[in-house]
Amino acid sequence: MYWHKKMRLFFSMHWVKFAIITAVLLLIALAVWGLMSMESFYMHLTLAQLPLQLLLTALSAAIFVYMYMMVFRGGFSKLERGRVKGENVRVRFDDVIGIDEAKEDAWEVVSLIKDRTRLQQIGGKILRGLLMVGPPGCGKTYLAKAIATEAGVPFISMAGSEFVEIFVGVGASRVRKLFKRARQLAYAHGACILFIDELDAIGRSRSFSYMGGGMETNATQNQILVEMDGLTDKEQNVIVIGATNAGEEVLDIALLRPGRFDRKIYIDKPGLEGREKLFKYYLSRVKHDRQMDLSRLAKRSVYKSPAEIENIVKEAALIATRHKKDSVTYKDISEAIERVDLGMKRKRVLTPTEKRNTAYHEAGHLIVMYILHPTDDVFKASIISRRSSQGVVYSQPREELYIHNKEKLLADIKVSLAGYVSEKLKCGSTSTGVSSDFKNAMRIAHSMVWQLGMSDKELLGDYTSVPNDQISDKIKEDLNNETQKIFHKCMKEVEALLTKEDILLERFTKELVERDELEYDEIEAIFAEYNKTRENPAKHIK
């Protein structure tokens, strides 16, 4: 359908090469004809000098071409990226897993590209821009490749950082060349997809200095705005796909208006069903236990992105290999999740007193988490050093929660304070190990009072949005008092619980000192031994 346009494009892009080849062949023919007409002596003399003349000519030509390319053909702004055929990307929509809603929106774009003739017949226009927004590792780039593959059109990919240079004007020049290349491919193939990854590198809100000047990225962004808004030729369907990990609010409003990025696709972390499909897909690439319950893995990996799940499977394969196993088991996956979330174990030799105090600290966290927390379950307790912490109680939510109520926030504070209270009750003094716990608890309590209106006095409003000098000292004092009130109330409840469960606290401390680590099943068994149960335990995800 587009063969004549492709031929015209090919000759328009390579006419210089054809001209050079023709000229060289003509010169060779003239040189041979001239040598044939010379006398024997002069012909031999000319042939003897010919290699040196060719060498000097080639050197001069190389210097000239280099200077010409640097000065007149872009130099630093030279664009290295070429097009990639859609069929060569080889990422189908079936390969994009865990983001079904985003796939539906993207498939609509593919349909518009495929049916662009019908769309133009009824007077419609194809989308000019598609913005993908979401956290890292959720498949934005992968989805863009799938769009190019399914649409079967050329695909050009660049990162936003490739437009940023120290030299003024280089970024804008690269943008012009990139869009020129995209328009040529769209003319020859009917459409072209231009993918700009990490768009926020050049798409942030424009800023200007006090003298009226702007940053170099301003010129680059201005050129993108002009190029996107200037794509009016009905046969030059260039679809710009931008991807960013930053929120929409950081991008310039001129980029987001209709006519530039017309459509926005929000890509979030996968839900339960999506995570199960991801585990099935990535485990199919390695030898694994076929009896493994993938639904348990999906429930164990709440809030994990596709990239994180892929990394977990890779880490599990390494662990299985290290243990000289023939396939990956559930235990390997579980260890990989802990290694990714908690970090590698560090062998530190603690004094008996340090080990006992750490065990009391973690046992306090464990008991309060198990009994009082409404949404999270304990999967592991350890007094082995990981990263910067001396011990850890590893917990996971039972399901995705996108809104946290007051009870959940208070439970988080109580769990954070439990280590401090346990040390104070059993050791007579506290240690520096409570610093991160206090920091987390204070952050939550401060947010509850200053931002969320969850104090007893009902000081409503987000006071962090008001300049500090515009809040009266009386209001500040009330807010701080309410924060401390939450702190002390939670601490008293934790102290009462740990005093009541003193036998359980001693038992867990003893087990941690002897074993260093307690797994989910062992923790459940000890609680069951003392007839301690909680409502809706997540035994199905152990």
Which residues are the active-site residues?
362
CB count in 10 Å sphere of residue 1? 8
Q: What's the 3-state SS for 40-94?
A: HHHHHHHHHHHHHHHHHHHHHHHHHHHHHHHHHCCHHHCCCCCCECHHHHCCCHH
Contacts from 516-524 at CB under 8 Å and sequence distance 24+? Answer: 516/382, 516/383, 516/384, 517/380, 517/381, 517/382, 517/383, 517/384, 518/366, 518/380, 518/381, 518/382, 519/379, 519/380, 520/377, 520/378, 520/379, 520/380, 523/366, 523/370, 523/378, 523/381
Main-chain phi, psi angles of 527, to 5 degrees: -65, -40
**Tokens standing for 113?**
């590209």
Pairing of strands 238-244, 192-197: parallel
3-state secondary structure of 134: coil
DSSP H or E segment with residue 354: helix 352-372
Q: Which residue has the tokens 């498939």?
A: 107
Main-chain phi, psi angles of 414, to 5 degrees: -65, -40
Alpha helices in 152-271 (DSSP H): 170-189, 200-203, 216-229, 253-256
Cα→Cα distances 234→117, 231, 345, 540, Å: 10, 8, 61, 57
b (16+ CB within 10 A) / e for 85-106: ebeebebeeeebbbbeebbebb
Which residues are CB-neighbours of 106 under 8 A, at least 6 positions away? Answer: 93, 130, 143, 146, 147, 265
Cα→Cα distances 456→107, 445, 471, 487, Å: 50, 12, 20, 13
CB count in 10 Å sphere of residue 480? 13
> What distance in Å separates the CA atoms of residue 58 and residue 2, rounded to the nearest whole number?
40
Note the Cα 341 to chain centre separation in Å: 16
- Half-sphere exposure at residue 470, Cβ-oriented, CA atoms within 13 angstroms: 5
Which residues are CB-neighbours of 456 under 8 A, at least 6 positions away? Answer: 482, 485
From 520, 526, 523, 509, select the one nearest 383 (Cα to Cα): 509
